[in-house]
Structure 1
């Protein structure tokens, strides 16, 4: 007797829905953070001697945060898409197996 494969597609759908919700909630977070930080971008330092150094540091930190946030959003989107594709493939395989079993073919 062969191995039996079974997967709970409803759980995959639950996780896909959750990841879709997370994507929707966080989808604009990088853009929103940029918009909120923009008014303060040139306010670093009051003294001329330190202003340039502080602006450069702030710009590097902001760029790093933007890159990290963008990477995280891309990863969340990829997990969402993978769950979507995986769920469809597993559901299709189970449907095919069920149809084959119901038709009496083996």
Structure 2
């Protein structure tokens, strides 16, 4: 068992070193995932939520809605506790994930 713990500790150390070298400006979402130590399951759940929220936003747009505050609230509540809202939105947008939804969220945040 000791060997496994030593190997895990080494891998965590190597990951820390790689994070320091990572281009945070090009891959801010990937960086947040790693710094927040999110699991694949947590990331996939967030992607699933963004898919649902994107569809709901399009539906609401078609119905004439112009503000999407309830969607932002739902997104905020679903975020893992270690992810800051504004940084997460900016990072997802920068890497091209759910751009229309993230743009709408950024506009809402700027209004406040």
- Report the TM-score, using the length of structure 2 for normalisation: 0.30
What is the TM-score with the length of structure 1 in the denominator?
0.31
Structure number with bigger Rg: 1
